[in-house]
């Protein structure tokens, strides 16, 4: 039984069936990629995992516990963190402040509780934030304003904001979108290192096959709201159904 189990999930927007009977089982510690043409429902699925959207039917279980009906904050508290398609950072704050906020997380009057059931002190969080910024190569810029960063640096900042929460499952929606080849390769290295050192389970939505084949152990291919093929990168590479899905879609 995987760390995340999705069963019979359906989601429609008006007459559009964005998710059509989705079943998915994500193994603990795995790097699992979800690929597929534009509009296949990948982001919609991730939004169902983090409480931004509620499926019309079906179940989503994390460590055996249903995530449906929990608020995004509650889902975050049980150990699920996400990096969205569009970076969500606080432009006017410094990098260090940006990384400290999710760890301190005074939201809805609730403090973030660490793995030992205690509230971390600000000094502890600061140390962790500084270490993570160094880890992603942003130590020099920690007192700079986040809004002035390059796109690649913003992505790196977001990854630190995600990891500072010490999540068990990280959801990444196109983590290298809009990056230069050099930044993409740096991010691949960073994500690979993260898997080894932090041991977190990752679900990565990605259009860049170089990223997918460099990182993923399992790949699920979506088309029109439904997973059509799942396997190792080698198994899905060259699968005619996958090529057909892309040719039939709107992906450029």
Ligand X SMILES: Nc1ncnc2c1ncn2[C@@H]1O[C@H](COP(=O)(O)OP(=O)(O)OP(=O)(O)O)[C@@H](O)[C@H]1O
Residue (62 or 222) nearer to Mg ion, CB = 222
Alpha-carbon radius of gyration of the chain: 18
Stretch 38-67 residues interacting with ligand X (CB under 6 A) = 38-44
From CA 112, how far away is CA 106, in angstroms rounded?
A: 7
From CA 29, how far away is CA 153, in angstroms rounded?
A: 26
- The one of Mg ion, ligand X, none whose footprint includes residue 39, by CB under 5 to 8 A per kind, is ligand X
Residue (18 or 203) nearer to ligand X, CB = 18
Does 195 bind Mg ion (CB under 5 A)? Our answer is: no
Stretch 37-66 residues interacting with Mg ion (CB under 5 A) = 43
From CA 35, how far away is CA 12, in angstroms rounded?
A: 20
Concatenating the DSSP letter of every residue in 116-178 gives TSSBPPHHHHHHHHHHHHHHTT-GGGTTSBGGGS-HHHHHHHHHHHHHTT--SEEEEESTTTT
Nearest distance from C-beta of residue 38 to ligand X, angstroms: 3
- Number of alpha carbons in the 13 Å side-chain half-sphere of residue 46: 25
Question: Interior CA angle at 88 toward 125 and 49, to 5°?
Answer: 90
Nearest distance from C-beta of residue 222 to ligand X, angstroms: 6
Does 18 bind ligand X (CB under 6 A)? Our answer is: yes
Does 201 bind ligand X (CB under 6 A)? Our answer is: no
Nearest distance from C-beta of residue 234 to ligand X, angstroms: 23
- Number of alpha carbons in the 13 Å side-chain half-sphere of residue 202: 28
Nearest distance from C-beta of residue 134 to Mg ion, angstroms: 31
Residue (12 or 77) nearer to ligand X, CB = 12
Positions in the binding site for ligand X (CB under 6 A): 13, 16, 18, 36, 38-44
Positions in the binding site for Mg ion (CB under 5 A): 43
């Amino acid at each position: 039984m995987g760390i995340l189990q999705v069963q019979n999930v359906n989601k429609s927007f008006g007459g559009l069936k964005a998710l059509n009977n989705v079943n998915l089982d994500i193994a603990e510690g795995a790097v699992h990629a979800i690929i597929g043409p534009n509009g296949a429902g990948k982001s919609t699925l991730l939004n169902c995992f983090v409480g931004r959207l509620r499926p019309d039917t079906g179940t989503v279980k994390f460590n055996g516990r249903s995530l449906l009906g929990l608020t995004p904050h509650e889902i975050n508290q049980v150990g699920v963190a996400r990096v969205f398609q569009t970076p969500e950072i606080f432009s006017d704050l410094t990098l260090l402040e940006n990384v400290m906020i999710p760890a301190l997380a005074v939201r809805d009057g609730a403090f973030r509780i660490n793995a030992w059931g205690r509230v971390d002190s600000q000094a502890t969080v600061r140390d962790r934030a500084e270490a993570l910024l160094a880890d992603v190569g942003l130590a020099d810029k920690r007192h700079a304003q986040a809004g002035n960063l390059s796109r690649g640096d913003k992505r790196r900042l977001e990854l630190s904001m995600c990891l500072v929460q010490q999540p068990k499952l990280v959801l990444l929606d196109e983590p290298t979108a809009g990056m230069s080849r050099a930044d993409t390769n740096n991010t691949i290295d960073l994500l690979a290192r993260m898997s080894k050192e932090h041991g977190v389970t990752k679900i990565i939505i990605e259009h860049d096959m170089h990223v997918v084949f460099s990182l993923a152990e399992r790949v699920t291919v979506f088309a029109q709201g439904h997973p059509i093929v799942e396997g190792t990168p080698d198994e899905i590479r060259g699968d005619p159904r996958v090529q057909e899905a892309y040719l039939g879609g709107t992906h450029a």
